[in-house]
Chains A and B, each alone.
Chain A
Amino acid sequence: MTGGATVGRAGDEPARQRVPVGAGGDGIALRGHPVGAGGGGLARRQEELVRALVAGAAMPAGFDAAAVGATRDALLRKRAEEVARTWPRLAAAAGPGQWARTFSAWAAGRAPQGSLRDGWDFARAHPPRDAAAARELALRELLWAYDGETAPRPRRGPAARLHGGELHLRWRGRAHTLGRR
């Protein structure tokens, strides 16, 4: 398998991923099974397991709890690494070697929303005091409108914001900085 999804989450739209459970029935049936309808409970079982792994739900019956727990922890570590790649200043501000633990403590039980939103939600919940991390957040807020619920959207038109003694300008979808640094 691939360690996967480590490259370029840009262009991947989390908002599009919501498919109702049991929404199968798109007409494809093989060997007489109503595939996708979850007749044998596969859809429900898969959702129970993924919710136990990433969203804090109870462990479904019958699984090796220690092995599933090891997977849950590995998923959190991987998620922390991916968020650190998207939000390097935010991660560095946690202190040397501290990011995975700090982020995981907050992210445990919260369903992943992709590294851009995960880092953004974390930053809003823990407003960074570190100047570089605060700047990273300010530049994202300048370029994107994020309501905390759905995928961030690019902001339109020119804008200027004063942040930490710098003037941040948005011009044609890109950030430009004037001032000290």
Chain B
Amino acid sequence: MTPLAGRGIGIGWRPEISGFVAELPGLRFVEVVAESLPHSGEPPEALAKLLAAGVAVVPHGVKLSLGGAEPVDPHRVEHLAAAARAVGAPLVSEHIAYVRAGGVEAGHLLPLPRSREAVDAVVANVARTTAELGVPLALEPIAALFDWPDDELTEAAFLTEILERTDALLLLDIANVYANALNRGEDPVDLLTRLPLERMAYVHVAGGRLHEGRYHDTHTDPVPGEVLELLGELCARQRPPAVLLERDGHYPPAAALRAELDALSAATGYPAITGAPAR
């Protein structure tokens, strides 16, 4: 059975909203930025309380650079594995992206060329990582404002080959699907029909905004209605085992966050975790 089956709607745990998260009566899973967990292995007290209440915690790595041509840093892999053990994680997740090259940090997730060489690099780095992890790994395709001129494969072919060769699960970010399609002038549903949706471990939903004609996946703005509609389209094809709201700054009042969580419940048919009456 897939690791997050039955977990429904979750939220990205961040220290700034830990009080809000602690008060969600129906919460069954959260994500935590893996690099924010201490090296000591002891989770922060607020997370420990959630764990004690039976909430699953998924470490979400953002700095492993699985798509780098350079091998992943063994210390970072070790930290991710320790984070997974510390929270008894059912799985961990990371991105199909690179974040550094030649000793230069990008400070964010950068897209890969959709080339055979990049597929090989990801596959090798995933192998190095999963060799140390005691739990499954889910891979998340990112949002990007540009593509490489080196592309040889379609996005669907690129992602499918990586998933098949690594045996990893898919963390599908529906807002990224929306963002990339909008910025490329494509139909987001088209990608959904070509991905191995049966490999979905869970789904990310986040907000963004248009800035100078491009859609930016900011995680600091409200979730657009179009993204919720696309989530509904996804569920009509294959409902993901679990769905998580990501917010990474400019935190709105609790009522607005609750409304976004309830909107995810409405779009997916999963029970509201906020205590709101079921629709």
Binding site for B on A (CB under 8 A): 1-12, 14, 16-24, 26, 28-31, 33, 35-36, 38-43, 45-47, 49-51, 53-55, 61-64, 67-68, 70-71, 74-75, 78-79, 81-82, 111-114
Would you call the interface of chain B mostly helix, strand, loop, or mixed?
Answer: mixed
Q: A36-B121, A42-B117 are in contact. Are A8 and B33 (CB under 8 A)?
A: yes
In the complex, what distance in Å separates the CA atom of A162 from the CA atom of B178?
55
Are B128 and A74 neighbours in the complex by a CB distance under 8 Å? Answer: no
Contact with A along B142-155 (1 / 0, CB 8 A): 11111111100000
A selection of 27 A-B contacts at a CB cut-off of 8 Å is: A1-B140, A1-B173, A2-B60, A2-B95, A3-B219, A3-B246, A4-B248, A5-B108, A6-B248, A9-B35, A28-B124, A28-B128, A33-B117, A35-B124, A40-B117, A41-B117, A45-B150, A50-B106, A55-B104, A62-B148, A67-B183, A68-B146, A71-B146, A74-B145, A78-B107, A82-B107, A112-B106
What interface size band does chain B fall in?
35 or more
Are A28 and B127 neighbours in the complex by a CB distance under 8 Å? Answer: yes
Are B104 and A31 neighbours in the complex by a CB distance under 8 Å? Answer: no
Q: Does B115 contact A (CB under 8 A)?
A: yes
Q: A1-B142, A24-B70, A30-B127 are in contact. Are A42 and B121 (CB under 8 A)?
A: yes
Q: A42-B121, A43-B70 are in contact. Are A3 and B218 (CB under 8 A)?
A: yes
Chain B residues lying within 8 Å of A114, measured Cβ to Cβ, are 105
With A4-B62, A50-B105, A54-B107 known, 13 other A-B pairs at CB within 8 A are: A1-B97, A2-B248, A6-B14, A7-B33, A11-B35, A23-B70, A40-B117, A43-B101, A45-B150, A50-B110, A51-B104, A67-B183, A68-B145
Contact of A42 among B73, B113, B211, B246 (CB under 8 A): B113
Chain A residues lying within 8 Å of B204, measured Cβ to Cβ, are 1-2
Residues facing A in B157-187 (CB within 8 A) are 165, 173, 176, 183
Q: A24-B71, A63-B149 are in contact. Are A53 and B110 (CB under 8 A)?
A: yes
Contact with A along B71-98 (1 / 0, CB 8 A): 1010100000000000000000001011
Chain A residues lying within 8 Å of B33, measured Cβ to Cβ, are 2, 4-8
Are A30 and B104 neighbours in the complex by a CB distance under 8 Å? Answer: no
Q: Does B239 contact A (CB under 8 A)?
A: no
Are B146 and A50 neighbours in the complex by a CB distance under 8 Å? Answer: no
Are A74 and B216 neighbours in the complex by a CB distance under 8 Å? Answer: yes
Are A47 and B120 neighbours in the complex by a CB distance under 8 Å? Answer: no
Q: Tally A-B pairs: CB < 8 A.
A: 193
Q: Does B30 contact A (CB under 8 A)?
A: no
Closest to A5 in B: B62
Are B107 and A42 neighbours in the complex by a CB distance under 8 Å? Answer: no
Are A70 and B62 neighbours in the complex by a CB distance under 8 Å? Answer: no
Closest to A54 in B: B106
Contact of B105 among A24, A26, A54 (CB under 8 A): A54
Lowest 3 A-B CB distances belong to which pairs?
A3-B219, A62-B149, A3-B248
Chain B residues lying within 8 Å of A78, measured Cβ to Cβ, are 107-108
Contact with A along B229-273 (1 / 0, CB 8 A): 000000000000000001011000000000000000000000000
In the complex, what distance in Å separates the CA atom of A17 from the CA atom of B99?
11
Chain B residues lying within 8 Å of A49, measured Cβ to Cβ, are 101, 110
Are A111 and B104 neighbours in the complex by a CB distance under 8 Å? Answer: yes
In the complex, what distance in Å separates the CA atom of A17 from the CA atom of B79?
14
Closest to B146 in A: A67
Contact of B100 among A39, A41, A50, A75 (CB under 8 A): A50
Chain B residues lying within 8 Å of A20, measured Cβ to Cβ, are 103
Q: A5-B33, A6-B248, A50-B101 are in contact. Are A36 and B69 (CB under 8 A)?
A: yes
